[in-house]
Amino acid sequence: MKKYSWALTAFVLIALSSGVVISKEKDFTTLDPDKITSYKLDRIVYQRIEKQADAKKDNSVESLLVIKNKKVYYICDGYDNVQDVLLKQILMSAENKYVENNDYWMNKINGKPDCVRIIYRRSDLLKNSGEEFVASNFGQFYKTTRDGFIKIHVEKFRNLMKNRGESCMHVDKKLISTSINREKENDIKLKFFKSATAKSTDGIVYYCEDADGDGITETFMAYTNDGFYWGEDCGPNILMIYGNTDKDIETFIGKLVNECENGSVEEEKQMFKEFPQDQEVKKLMENLAPLDKYYE
């Protein structure tokens, strides 16, 4: 229970502090089907990590986990065996050998899943880490399910934007850099770290972030407090996209922070639709300032 409490605390800090933890290069443990707390309830988990400060943690890995009828279906892109990587680090350190950028995680996300496992009651029914086999047999399912899962949560998050008061949506902005053009008066460019959080009525906490101030959301997360996790530092237990560079995924999440700050197209349409008409305002004024009635 201690590990779960730590994981929950970490994400709550991320959400409530509006990005302070994440902006300091928070590290997360990659999704591990062997360490999940339960396989009895149907669920889907998606995780994409593209940056880590700790060299002992995978910095380029994407995983999809589906639990259905007590079977676990796990597909991964950028799979590296953790024990093999750590052993390699130890051996190379002992021989005073180093790899470029101190990156021992050689297998990177490339759009072709390279590991699949089907597990029933903690036992493997199928296990294969060959890219050709996995991509040809499960690649289409992987991409279709991944994209659909991201889209449905983006839609849910955008619905929270339309109900900002009820969802307690909060947008945070912090100055991270200033650029001054000394040749042009008043030509000052500011860059901000921006993040937003909101909570749905079913208890899902959402978080999105533009960490470098380029106007593009590269981090999107969803978490629920239901006791499901896979170890310390596991982070969000529904959906986690951290430091995204993929253009396809960017089409889904790239505008979220900007929409949280400035409003979405749907919100604008709703506001125009609900904006009071002239006659309605006139009647309101008459009701608020009625003429005195005198008896003659």
SS3 sequence of 72-123: EEEEEECCCCHHHHHHHHHHHHHCCCCCHHHCCCCCCCCCCCCEEEEEECCE
Q: What pLDDT, on the 0 to 100 scale, is given for residue 8?
A: 41
> What pLDDT does 99 receive?
65
User: What was the pLDDT predicted at 263?
Assistant: 85
Q: Contact at 8 Å (CB) between 207 and 160?
A: no
Query: What digits encode the pLDDT tens for the residues 26-82?
Result: 678 899 999 999 999 999 999 999 988 777 788 899 999 999 999 999 999 999 888
Query: Residues 208, 196: contact at Cβ < 8 Å?
Result: yes
Residues 21 and 194: their CA atoms lie apart, in Å, by 13
Kindly state whether residue 172 falls inside one of the protein's structural domains: yes
Question: Is residue 140 included in any domain, yes or no?
Answer: yes
Has residue 293 been placed in a domain?
no
Q: Is residue 294 part of a domain?
A: no
Number of domains in the chain: 1
Q: Which amino acid is at 88?
A: K
Q: Which segments in the chain show pLDDT lower than 70?
A: 1-26, 97-99, 101-102, 295-296
Nearest residue to 257 (alpha-carbon basis) of 212, 201, 200: 212
Rounded Cα distance between 196 and 16, Å, is: 9
Assigned domain for 73 exists: yes
| Domain residue limits at 6 | 2-288
Residue pair 71/43 in contact (Cβ under 8 Å)? The answer is no
Residue 296 lies in a domain: no
Asked if the structure places residue 295 within a domain, the reply is no
CB burial of 185-218 (b: ≥16 within 10 Å; e: otherwise) equals eeeeeeebbbbbbbbbeeebbbbbbbbbbeebbb
Query: 148-163: b or e for each residue (b if 16 or more CB lie within 10 Å)?
Result: ebbeebbeebbebbbe
Tally of helices (H runs) and strands (E runs) in the chain: 9, 10
